[in-house]
Chain A
Amino acid sequence: MQQVGEAKLSLLATKLRERKPPTLSMAPMIDCVFLLLIFFMVSTTFSPIPGLRVQLPPPGKPSPDKPKGLTVRIANPEPGEYRGTMVLNDVVVQVEEMFNQFINAPEESKNMLIIQSERDVLHEQIVQVMDIAKQAGIDKIGFAIVARD
């Protein structure tokens, strides 16, 4: 009688064990994953950066031949002003008339614009000149620099 009872008990115990396998609780992990997902979704930006491409010659010695093209020279701004005087082919030009000057330039010189600028000219003015040149269809823009040894 006692043996039968013990057997029944052990059977019940194994049944119970089979019925309740150990489980991992998934809920906290899913909570964390959701939080991470929301964080990355909110912090990701897909918008591109607007900019102007600068084409530079390959590194090395500058080419000895004089490049053909338009040359704009920009002087350091006078104290108190933020725009320097600009000279295009030995004539002083204002920003407003620059676009027409570029458009009316001879076709063979329109392939490239060389900007010779002094060191204290503001970046804004350079970008403005590049912008006008791109509007006028001049895609190659170069900067004149002094060669270092």
Chain B
Amino acid sequence: MALNLAQRRKTNDEDDIPMAPMIDCVFLLLIFFMVSAVMKANPPFTITLPDSSTQHEFTRKKYNLFVNSDGRVSIDDQEMLTLEDMELFIAAHEHQISTLIIKADKRAKHGVVIDVVERAKMRSSKTEGLEIAFAVSEED
């Protein structure tokens, strides 16, 4: 009787699908996606990017600079109240910024955009200067 029970148990165990390899794979995938995920941070205002037929592609990274039509500036979802704040923020995160992508609204004034570019450039300690790109609309 006891033997019978043991046998039944054994066969039951063997019928199960082995879960361990699947869990290993799922963990690997999870870690990959967690590491590669760049969370999208929206600025506190809306922007419409200008159109351009020629464009270069830049990898999506953290710390994008947004400029809206009223001259408000934000880095990701943090609004920069003064250009000095922006300079300090860029200086603090300089090592994480390889290309500074400036997402300026179509109707943003050139003067503000240039001020931002100049400030960002001045703060960079790299000898070759910070690489800067103007983002354009994704539609052709």
Contact = CB atoms under 8 A, between A and B. Distances in A.
B2 to A, nearest CB: 9
A37 interface: yes
A41 B33 CA distance: 6
A130 B134 contact: yes
Contacts of A134: 54
Nearest to A41: B33
Interface string A16-58: 0000000000100010011011001101111111111110111
Interface stretch (A1-9, A90-98, A105-113, A121-129): A121-129
Given A26-B23, A45-B60, A52-B54, A37 B29 contact: yes
Interface residues on A, range: 35 or more
B132 to A, nearest CB: 5
Given A49-B57, A50-B55, A127 B33 contact: no
B128 A58 contact: yes
B60 A47 contact: yes
Contacts of A82: 107
B109 A51 contact: no
A44 B30 contact: no
B102 to A, nearest CB: 8
A43 B37 CA distance: 7
B40 interface: yes
Interface string B112-140: 11100110011010011111111111100
Contacts of A50: 52, 55-58, 135-138
Given A34-B26, A52-B52, A124-B50, 18 more contacts: A40-B37, A44-B36, A46-B60, A48-B58, A49-B60, A50-B57, A50-B58, A51-B56, A51-B101, A54-B134, A56-B117, A120-B109, A122-B107, A122-B108, A123-B134, A127-B134, A128-B50, A135-B54
13 contacts: A37-B30, A47-B60, A52-B52, A54-B133, A56-B117, A59-B122, A121-B110, A122-B108, A122-B109, A124-B107, A125-B110, A127-B52, A128-B52
